[in-house]
Amino acid sequence: MKTTKKTSTKGKPASKRFHERVFESDSTYFLKLVVVVLLGTLWLKFAEPAVWLGLTFTALPLGIVVGFLVVRAFEHHQDDRKIWYAVLLIVGVISYFVPAGIVL
């Protein structure tokens, strides 16, 4: 006869027994969304294209770089960070084609 080993949760640490998820209020979530969208729209655009090592740059995504750092610093759960990264990239790509940004 085969015997199966039963596992119990008594010997496991508390983090293995359950996954605690702290929920945030709607206003906090909306504030984060507004900040991420505003950061995604911030581009440093050049009046004349800049050339560096043979590559031509017409704009630099400063808001996306800062947004990645802000999301990484303030968002604790990896799944939430992935959502904010996706929002930041989509808004950043869309705002590149919009005539907005800081022009040098």
**pTM tops 0.85:** no
Rounded Cα distance, 66 and 42, in Å: 10
pLDDT in tens, 3-61: 665 555 566 565 555 665 667 788 888 998 999 999 889 888 888 888 888 888 888 88
> What is the CB-side half-sphere exposure of residue 17 using CA atoms within 13 A?
7
User: Residue 45 and residue 50: Cα distance in Å, rounded?
Assistant: 10
Q: Would 2 be classed as within a structural domain?
A: no
Would you state the pLDDT for residue 88? 93
Asked, for residue 90, whether it belongs to a domain, the answer is yes
Q: Which domain does 80 fall in, by range? A: 25-103
Number of domains in the chain: 1
